Structure 1
Amino acid sequence: MSTKSDRRSFLKNATLLAGGAFSAQSIFNQAYGAIFEDLSAKYNAFSPSELAVQEDYWSTIQQAYSASSAPVLNLNNGGVSPSPMLVQQAVERYNQLSNQGPSYYMWRILDQGREPLRERLAALAGADPEEIAINRNATEALNTVIYGLDLSSGDEVIGCHYDYGNMMQAWRQRQEREGIVYKQLDFEFPIEDDDFIVQAYKEAITDKTKIIHVTHVINWIGQIMPVQKICRMAHEHGIEVIVDGAHSFGLLDFKIPDLEGDYFGTSLHKYLSAPIGSGMLWIKKEKISKVWPLLCNGQPKSENIRKFESLGTRSFPIEQGIGEALNFHNGIGAKRKEERVRYLKNYWAEKALKIPGVKVHTSLKAPYSCAIAGVSVAGMTPKDLETNLFSRFQIHTVAIPYRSLSCVRVSPHVYTRPSDLDKFVRALGILAAEHATQNMEEKGA
């Protein structure tokens, strides 16, 4: 009797879990519903920029992340952001459920949660749900488009030397295999002139140009590119635009169609804080049929966006954990999140600029950067700086020794405290002073 009762109880709970992220039984509602209601009532009168400096509000957000109390200070959220604990808990619950009977619970229970998830992602994106495909990361999303578009030998694609590495490699592979022409622009960032950037792409266009590939936020250095202006210019010349939104979606407050691109791919495990290994593809509805799926599908020329989800067996727990990340993100609000993270970036960068021997390689003006900034210390290579920050101060950054860039990339998140950034600035000061003294001694010798 007890066994049958336990089984009925488990099946009931499994059904609730399957749609739980968007129901009253969601982990977010249970753990944070009342808390966010209280925060909203208390801070509703604050504008996003005013709220950005209200530490009492953000301390609640910080406590939701286990990373906020980790022994290592993570300032490489631009690589992969940690998830709030409720997202981690959701993935664990769905994983436990799946392992009770994988083929049943994954395909017949959890798989039913994809359509509500598609609708919620579309709402955040400002898009039609029929334009949204759920996948594993920006590389998969954008490679789907890069390899899925019909191009012929001699057709030109314009990109930039500062696009993401996997995207550049994908275009180079098409160039090597099919004879397309892949042209890359060079820039000296930071640039605080949209028209200069747009003009550079315009001047590269010829009558053979078919595609412009543009990165919304340059991952190397944090430059925000004038995507909408580039798209409008490109469309005037009959050229399609692929937008890499890996570092913008879930951070900047925008709607994908407002960028006016034709294709958009992103990783959800960056600033949306969704489970690691989650991504999203957006294709303008009337263009879906012309894109071949990256993986085989029975109807490759279909107008159905789901043809891009033919992945076979996937991680349903990760996929469904995205829902709780959306709940948490929406509980904060997109514009509030953007203003807070930009405030944190400027908080440390403005202090760092006052340290002799320290250089910031990113614009601090709002239209041109948000979370990511590059910093260097005179006399230290990027790898030396990264290594010293980690080994001596337990601060994780990433070295960027790439083309004209020579710095470490720093990217805080909503769980980062100003006191954490004070620690980082102190470390920069110590290292800069040490190397200034060392340089003086070497000159004296």
Structure 2
Amino acid sequence: MTHRRQFIQQVSMLASAFSANSLFNQTHASNIVSANASTKHLTAAQVATDEDYWSVIQQAYTVHPSIINLNNGGVSPSPRIVQDAVRRYNELTNEAPSYYMWRILDQGREPLRQKLADLAGCNAEEIAINRNATEALNTIIYGLDLKAGDEVIGTKQDYPNMIQAWRQRAARDGIVYKQLNFNFPIENDQMIVDIFEQAITPKTKIIHITHIINWVGQILPVQKICAMARSKGIETIVDGAHSFALLDFTIPSLGCDYFGTSLHKFLSAPIGSGMLWIKQDKIEKIWPLLCNDKPNSKDIRKFETLGTRSFPIEQGIGEAINFQLAIGNKRKEERIRYLKNYWVEKVIHLPKINIHTSLNARYSCAIAGISINGLTSAQFGNTLFDTYKIHTTGIVWENISCVRITPHVYTRLQDLDRLVKAIHEIAEKK
């Protein structure tokens, strides 16, 4: 009886992220429900400035008290409930790994698939769960039947792993990889669309679009680019690593054919989790990146033949989604945009300061790039950390040289005030 009770408890724990018994409901639900009730009369933009509301959200994180982390564009910390879920699933797995992984935890993938699909606004049969945006997008890049001479259009400002993947396909298969070059920020949708359109030839098969440019946070007009491409019979791939769970959108609304993202950025899911979306009628023609016994199947699961993987990480995603839904996509987007604008507006007019990101809500949200005349990005970034314990990342890529600063929902205004003070002092000394 004791073993039976333990087994039932373990199985119920598996389902907890998708039930009333979730860690989120046990730990945070009542506080966030109360905070939501007190602000239900406010718009998302108004809630963005309500520090009492966001203090409730901030308390869910376990960030280091003496380091201000403003490099959330790289990877974001998970709330405590997500960490606890991963730890619990890991402990369960290690009681009898092959049993609990393959017979118990593996059964949790389908509820998770549906939960991700609901968040993405799509059919669950279009979602594959993997480890990051690089894996998701490489699945598409290497899975497309392209032949020598076929053209692919991307940009020099795309993520390096995607650029290298296309270059490797060009070297291996003889496809033609063309890169456009943009000088951001740009606040003109049609200009961006026109530059893509002018690069098209009768041999163009694919346009690769980065939804949010990771270097400086420029939001590209994805829907318009995809609509233009579709009118010419060209397929589109969207890199949504920095947009998913940050901007309030559904994947089908973009009008793309393929989409990949990391879940450990703005969703705050466990580190090393990602998602692939393929329009349902395109699944059959894409070859899996890793072998499958039915590579031409119409089943999205053919892209999940990864062998042994981290089941605890996969199942921890469910609690991150619970946390996301409790806040609401639009509220989250508006808050993080508010935080970015908060610090930028306090330094943008200073002498020697250059902001490499638009403040127009249509063209940026979380990420902003900043540089100081006379300082390299490495010098600037190192000073921020060594003197002020503010963690950022220095960017030197193509025509971009700046420090990238990215807040998240757990970022406090006093942290950004400290950043502003640091920028003032560094600029004055230079």
TM-score (norm 1): 0.96
Picking from 347, 354, 379, the partner of 1:359 is: 354
Which of 337, 357, 371 does residue 332 from structure 2 map onto? 337
1:304 corresponds to 2:309: no
Aligned counterpart, 1:23: 19
Q: Contact 1:81/1:271 (CA < 8 Å) preserved in 2? A: yes
In the other structure, the counterpart of 2:56 is 60
Aligned pair 1:262/2:257, yes or no?
yes
1:352–1:359: 8 Å Cα contact kept in structure 2?
no
Which residue among 151, 172, 181 is the counterpart of 2:176? 181
The answer (yes or no) to whether the contact 2:73–2:367 under 8 Å persists in 1 is yes
Q: Say whether 1:397 aligns with 2:378.
A: no
Q: CA deviation at 1:11?
A: 1.1
Q: Point out the more displaced range, 7-16 or 174-183.
A: 7-16
Q: TM-score, normalised by structure 2?
A: 0.99
1:195 match: 190
Gap regions ≥5 residues in structure 1: 436-445
The answer to whether the 8 Å contact 1:216/1:247 transfers is: yes
RMSD of aligned Cα (Å): 0.7
Please, which of 312, 318, 325 is the counterpart of residue 323 of structure 1?
Answer: 318
Q: Does 1:73 find its partner at 2:88?
A: no
Aligned to 1:440: none
- How far the C-alpha of 1:355 sits from its partner, in A, is 2.3
Q: Quick one: which of 42, 50, 60 aligns to 2:38?
A: 42
Query: How far 1:277 moved relative to its partner?
Result: 0.2
Instruction: Please say which of residues 39-48 and 156-165 is displaced more in the overlay.
Output: 39-48
Measured against aligned partners, the alpha-carbon deviations of 1:374-431 in whole angstroms (never above 9, x if no partner) come to: 0011110000011111111100100011122111000000000111001001101111
Letter in 2 for 1:396: H
Deviation of the 1:156 alpha carbon: 0.2
Q: What does 1:227-238 align with in structure 2 at a 5 Å threshold?
A: 227-238=222-233
- Deviation for aligned residue 1:354: 2.8
Give the structure 1 partner of residue 90 of structure 2.
95
Measured after TM superposition, the shift of residue 12 of structure 1 is: 1.8
Alignment of 1:404-415 (within 5 A): 404-415=399-410
Whether contact under 8 Å (1:346, 1:364) holds in the other structure is yes
Larger radius of gyration between Structure 1 and Structure 2: 1
Moved more, 121-130 or 15-24: 15-24
| Map of 1:141 onto structure 2 | 136
Indicate yes or no: 2:335 matched with 1:350. Answer: no
> What secondary structure does 1:281 align onto?
strand
What is the CA deviation profile of residues 25-52 of structure 1, one whole-angstrom value per residue up to 9, with x for unaligned ones?
A: 1100000121122112111111000000
How many residues matched?
430
Q: Quote how far apart the aligned CAs of 1:261 are.
A: 0.2
Aligned to 1:438: none
Partner Cα separation in structure 2 for residue 47 and residue 311 of structure 1: 43
2:413 paired residue number: 418
Match of 2:218 in 1: 223
Cα deviation, residue 346, structure 1: 0.1
Letter matched to residue 253 of structure 1: D
Superposition pairs for residues 363-382 of structure 1, below 5 Å?
Answer: 363-382=358-377
Partners of 1:428 and 1:369 in 2: how far apart? Answer: 21
Matched residue SS, 1:25:
coil
Q: Matches of 1:198 and 1:355 in 2, distance apart?
A: 33
CA-CA distance at 1:8 after TM superposition: 2.9
1:242 to 237, 242, 245: 237
1:213 aligns with 2:243: no
8 Å contact 2:49–2:335 — kept in the other structure?
yes
Distance in 1, Cα, partners of 2:415 & 2:287:
46
Structure 2 counterpart of 1:98, one-letter code: T
Task: Note if 1:154 corresponds to 2:149.
Answer: yes
Instruction: Return the match for 2:123 from 121, 128, 132.
Output: 128
Q: How does 1:160-171 map to 2 (within 5 A)?
A: 160-171=155-166
Percent identical pairs in the alignment equals 63
SS of aligned partner of 2:28: helix
